[in-house]
Structure 1
Amino acid sequence: MTHQLKSVWDNYPEFFTNDFNSIEAPVVENFIAEMFSLGEFYYYVLNVSDGTISNIHPKILAMHGLPNFPTQLHEIIDLIHPDDVSFVVAAENATLIKMREIGFQYQMQLKSSYCFRMKVADGEYELFHHQALHIARNEAGQLLQAINIHTNINHLTKENNYIVTVSGVAGRSDFHQIQLKPIHQDRVFQEKLTRREIEILRLVIKGFSSNEIAKQLFLSAYTVKTHRKNIHKKTFTKNNVELIKKSLEWGYV
């Protein structure tokens, strides 16, 4: 069954294929390290050509109050708040435009993320953080599979920033933000983080200490701590809890 994103994907024939390809199921855990999980989450593998989903984390049932595992992408989209679906379509298009600018050959080293509301078990809608990582392509370079992870962040923020973030993984340091709706007032005077500060921020959010970050980035612990102080100053935060909340609101994850 078709879904709302199909019309977007069809505009990028060099990137997507409608030909079904049967490929081996991935080991999802191998890719989760590239993702942020700031609350209760689940994941699934999307088979792009036919819109089927597999390898679904069991938490999806309890989080959304589902009696059975979904088998098609349209069942996931049906959980999105009706007022947010048009944004999701626009976000997917913005993601693909940016990936085309960077080069589709790097698609498996890029992660996209943005937020939208989804229906939860009690019938209410709560804010979720969506992350997508491309994990398989055919010989022509067309996408075959992606892993999507959905994290409930309603306990951190209820405000959608309408920012699409495309960032590098697996050795790439890309970081691009696309604002799809008018900027929120508290970001008008925002002092932007440097590329190094963003790199450190994302490691902080993943739970790494200053010493661990220093080893990963070949920096001194003192330098990392100085960067962390500057990050808190620029984001108007006093601790990591506030920093995580602000990072979500400002589209840094």
Structure 2
Amino acid sequence: MELLAFKEAQKIWKQISKESTVPELKFELEIHKRLLNIFQVGDYYYYIFNCQEAAIEYVHENVTAVLGFQPHEFNVPNIMDHMHPDDLPWFLNFENAVTQFFLQLPPGKCLKYKVRYDYRIRKTNGDYLRILQQVVTIQTDETSGVLRTLGVHTDISHLKQDGKPVLSFIGLDGEPSYLDVNVKAIFSSDKGILSKREKEILGLLIAGHHSSQIGEKLFISQHTVNTHRRNILAKTGAATTSELVARAVREGWL
């Protein structure tokens, strides 16, 4: 699912960059660190994102303290792979809404907005935290295509543990702000999360069967069943089998 999501995200970012050729990164990062006073900071790290290439070109070393990633591991596919499965569709829907918002702005206005939304991401130790993502444009082309952005990820787990992610556009230099924006649900949370075999195993778990019984019914080893069960928990973000079964029944995964 994460690979498909990344391909969809690439399409979205190519739109916002207007498929322009992105010049070499020549400006000094120190000059743009002054933009950090726009953001509320706690446990945070910042990064530079190339929209056309869908690539993170720089990330501050503090990403290791926040998420456990080494800087060279911090790339878009890895971020999506660690994003909570329920929040990945929100991420894609938000990015699509952001692109549509910036494409309709008058020339020069894309530099006057900060994009803000939140989602959950899994640290390297397996724990989830909630990230507040805040992004400003730092480089455009002559047609106002967004080429590069500066983003900050702040751990807000202590401020928000539950509830749906929220998207806002914060106007700078007197521009109007748009808070808690409604977005089109183009991407669905139940799209392709589980494989056919995983759904078979989940169905048997819902029916009350244990791993050994599932193995007998599907003609696979108990070890293989347990491996599938661990993968299902990781994909869905469920902490326990009981939570998994409850959510599967409530949200109609099968």
TM-score range, shorter chain: 0.5 to 0.7
Gaps of at least 5 residues in structure 2 are 186-254
Q: Which residue is equivalent to 2:66? A: 63
Within 5 Å, which residues of 2 pair with 1:107-118? 107-118=110-121
Aligned residues: percent identity?
A: 20
Within 5 Å, which residues of 2 pair with 1:66-77? 66-70=69-73, 72-77=75-80
| Aligned partners of 1:62 and 1:121 also within 8 Å | no
Q: Which residue is equivalent to 2:176? A: 174
- C-alpha spacing 1:115/1:8, structure 2 compared with 1 (3 Å): same
Looking at structure 2, the residues matched to 166 and 50 of structure 1 have their Cα atoms a distance apart, in angstroms, of 24
Q: Which has the higher helix share?
A: 2
Q: Which residue is equivalent to 2:26? A: 24
SS in 2 for 1:49: coil
Looking at structure 2, the residues matched to 71 and 117 of structure 1 have their Cα atoms a distance apart, in angstroms, of 16
Larger radius of gyration: 2
- C-alpha spacing 1:5/1:91, structure 2 compared with 1 (3 Å): same
Within 5 Å, which residues of 2 pair with 1:1-253? 3-10=7-14, 12=15, 15-17=17-19, 19-25=21-27, 26-27=29-30, 28-37=32-41, 39-70=42-73, 72-103=75-106, 105-169=108-172, 171-177=173-179, 178-180=181-183
Looking at structure 1, the residues matched to 160 and 34 of structure 2 have their Cα atoms a distance apart, in angstroms, of 29
Looking at structure 2, the residues matched to 77 and 24 of structure 1 have their Cα atoms a distance apart, in angstroms, of 28
- C-alpha spacing 1:161/1:103, structure 2 compared with 1 (3 Å): farther
Looking at structure 1, the residues matched to 18 and 81 of structure 2 have their Cα atoms a distance apart, in angstroms, of 22
SS in 2 for 1:55: strand
| Aligned partners of 2:112 and 2:175 also within 8 Å | no
Q: Aligned-residue CA RMSD in angstroms?
A: 2.5
Give the counterpart letter for 2:89 in structure 1. S
Query: How many pairs align?
Result: 178
Shift of 1:5: 1.2
Gaps of at least 5 residues in structure 1 are 183-253
TM-score (norm 1): 0.62
SS in 1 for 2:170: strand
